[in-house]
Every structure is written in C-alpha cells, then in structure tokens.
A = this chain, B = another copy of it.
C-alpha cells in the first residue's frame, strides 16, 4: 500500500522572513522562546511570513478494534459507539474543550462497531483481530485514507487554518503499540502502556497481543503496517496528515495513538511530518519514546491521557498566540525605539 505524499519542503523564504520579523520586534532577540520556533515553522508550512491561526478545527476519528476480544482494555468495545454518540450530543470532554477554544469539532466514524445505520464514512464495523489476521483489507485501508484526506480537504475549503487530530477507539493503544513496534523497532514492552487504565492481567494480555501482532507486521512497508495491525481511525489520521501537508495546513498532533498513526509516514518519507506540531506529551507509556524518535518536542506536558484530540486542542491556543506574535507586534522601528 502506498500513498502519494507530495513532499514540497517547507517554504524557506517565508521562514526567513518570519525570523527576520521576530528579530525586529520590540523585545530582546529570542525572548519568546519556543513560540518563535513555532512561528517560523508555521511560516514554512503556510508559505506566509505572517501566518494567521484564527479558525482551528479538531477532528476525532473513531474506530473499533477486533483485538479487544483478547481482553486488552479497561473498557468494553461498546464504549466507542457510546462515546461517539456522546461527542455528537455535545457532552464529552472534547466538546467542552472545543467550545472553550473556539474550535470546530468534526467527529468521523470511520470504523466503529456500533449499532444503528452505518454512516457513509464507516469503512467497516471494527477491525479484525490483528493478533491473528490483517486488521483491514487493502481496499478498506485505502478507503480510510480517502476519508481522512476528504475531511481535511473540506476543512481547508471552509477556511480552517489549523487542524488538531484526535481519536477515539477502545483498544487503539494496543494497535498503536503494535504499529510502533513494527515500524520503529523495539519490543512490545517499549510501546505498551495501560491505555485507559487496564489492570495488571489485562496489561499482560495486551503485551502478548502487541508482541504477536507486531511480529506479523515487522518488515512490511510502513503504510502497510497501519493496515495490518493499525485501525481504521489510525489510517484515516495518516490520510488527514497527508492531505494537510498537500494543502499547507498546520497539524497539531494529540497523543500516542495519533503519533503512531503518522509515524509510518515519517519512516517512509523523512520530512513528511514537518507540518506537524506535537501538542503534548501524553502520560501513555510509549509516547515519550515515540516523540523522541519523531524528533518532536511537545508544546505541553500536562499528563493528559484522554485522547479525543484533547491534548492537541489544549495546545491550539498556544499555537494561535505564537502566530499572533508576528502578525500583530510592532517592530522597534515602527515604535521609534533604538
């Protein structure tokens, strides 16, 4: 499986112009710290020396996982559908955070196993059990990529200027750990944590599942790993990231599952994630290591482990404030200061 990733490098002229503007502001050079690096990156992504981040969106891709049959999660798989209903009704943490942050929230059921009529975006009702067979068929994975790309394309069309990527799916930290072990190397123990809070016995089963699945997937091309042991929402996230790059849209990544979803892009095409910022370092074991391997420094480190895009969304106001610093600050010259 391959995806055409159009890898135009970041716009170095816009980056230089943004840096130059930063250096002429009425402040000591470098005094805005990491915010200055964010601004320069945003300039490179968007091609504008004065990028505006005014219309954020957060997309939550949801899917179920056949591997939950192995008893790897603290919650039953049925909770995924319940939480999607909760998102749609506006009652989940991410709804509140999105409202408070002024962000548009889009929820995409790309592979939930819930009851009721399947939305057109659903590529299948939960994946197969990755410990024994491929999680998805090739055509299903390609459909999921297309769904991720379409969502971002529509957001760009609607004028959104930054997208936070999130996920919901009982069992998906198991899938994410298997993806990481397969594409990044290391053993199951390096990548497997307690997810939403599985107990010791569940953790032992989870480790076994990750070991079995990643052993099957190791050596496959990176994007095929996503199909083999990932999940519909992971594949859709990868598609969303690819489309965002093509559309010059900055992406803020949530935690471990989202990071694992895009990691194969990084492995396949170094530089493929240059338009992505790590919103936070999640408390999920494995995320710190993954960020290190992706050479990403997270904006926040607040011990979040909710998923749903929450850690990405909490970082969006920081990205927005950073952008404001170059679009709206007077320079020394403009203010007549020496």
Taking Cβ atoms with an 8 Å cutoff, the residues of A that contact B are 25-35, 74-75, 79, 82-83, 86, 89, 91-93, 95-97, 99-101, 196-197, 283, 299-307, 310, 313-314, 317-318, 320-321, 324-325, 328-330, 334-335, 337
Contact = CB atoms under 8 A, between A and B. Distances in A.
A100 B321 contact: yes
24 contacts: A25-B93, A27-B92, A27-B93, A28-B74, A32-B310, A33-B283, A33-B305, A34-B304, A35-B314, A79-B337, A86-B337, A91-B329, A91-B330, A91-B334, A92-B329, A93-B329, A95-B329, A96-B324, A97-B325, A100-B321, A101-B321, A302-B318, A314-B318, A317-B321
Nearest to A37: B303
A321 B321 CA distance: 15
Contact of A335 (B28, B89, B313): B89
Of A75, A95, A306, which is in contact with the most chain B CB atoms at under 10 Å from its CB?
A306
A79 B26 CA distance: 10
B299 A96 contact: no
Please state the number of chain copies in the assembly.
2
B330 A92 contact: yes
A37 B82 CA distance: 27
Given A26-B93, A82-B337, A32 B324 contact: no
Nearest to A308: B27
Contacts of A100: 320-321, 324, 328
B99 A32 contact: no
Nearest to A328: B96
A112 B97 CA distance: 41
Nearest to A305: B31
Given A31-B306, A101-B321, 19 more contacts: A26-B92, A26-B93, A27-B92, A27-B93, A28-B306, A32-B93, A33-B305, A34-B303, A79-B337, A86-B337, A91-B329, A92-B330, A96-B324, A96-B329, A97-B321, A100-B321, A302-B318, A317-B318, A317-B321
